[in-house]
Structure formats: C-alpha cells, structure tokens
Structure 1
C-alpha cells in the first residue's frame, strides 16, 4: 500500500504549528526549533521518497505485465497519425 503523502503533509504542518506555538511560549530556543524543523523535514522527505519508490515499482510492474498491450496501442496510435498525415488531415 502506498504511503499517505497528504496525511503526512498535514501531520508535518500540525507539528510545525506546535513547534511555533512552543517557541512563542518561549519553551524552545531558536536552536531547538531549527533541530525540530530539520527532523520534521527529514521525516516528510522519507515519506515522499517511499511514495515515489513505491509508485515507480507499481508502474514498472504494470508495464512488465501489460507490455504487449501498451506496445499495440502505441503502434495503432503511430499508424493513425501516419495515416492522417498521409491524407493531409493533420
């Protein structure tokens, strides 16, 4: 199953809001804020990379399984384009 990137982004923004609120209450120093923000960015980046990796694997599997059908559709498209050009309709 693919990671929930939208949910992860919402969590990221919620956590950023919590960090900002803690900073405004003077519970965190600016250095602590920087460290927390960097950690949150790394966490979101990992989720994004996992999503891209999983989506690429799904795409590769689809192409591997449906390669002949995709090649046939592409060939029909090329033939239709050549026919239109040859008849002066494109």
Structure 2
C-alpha cells in the first residue's frame, strides 16, 4: 500500500478501537515487517488534528460525521475512503 513509508505507518484511530487496533498492529508487524505507530483519541479530535497538519497515514473514525468533516476540509484523500466496520447494537 502506498501509505507504508520507511517501515512505519502512522495510524490515527478512534479510542473505541484501541484494543482491536493494538492486536492488528502486532499481527501486521509480524506479517509485513511494518511498525504501526498508533494515536488513539475521539474521532473529532483526530479529524481536527489531521486538518491542522498532523501526519497520519491512516485515519479510522468511529463516526462517519468526522470522516465527512475530514473530506470536506480536504484533509484526507477521498479516493482512499472505505467503510471498514459497522457496529450493530441490540437491546
């Protein structure tokens, strides 16, 4: 993938994905030899940091609204946007 630079990938991910992303990063390192440097926070915080110029190779938002925000601000490559997860709640 084009976002893998110098053996490291910088991932900004929603705090609710911390455990899953840490497991994925460990497995990715084993399989691809690429270190994943993760930053976890609210989707709004991450989107605003990216808009302000924070270096992120991958942004995983827990809220579509904040992904839309990043697109509207031209902070991300819209061609790379994909829906990765959906969470269904039942009561």
* TM-score bucket of the superposed structures, by smaller chain: under 0.3
TM-score, scaled relative to structure 2: 0.26
Could you say which structure has the higher helix fraction? 1
The structure whose residues are more often strand, as a share, is 2
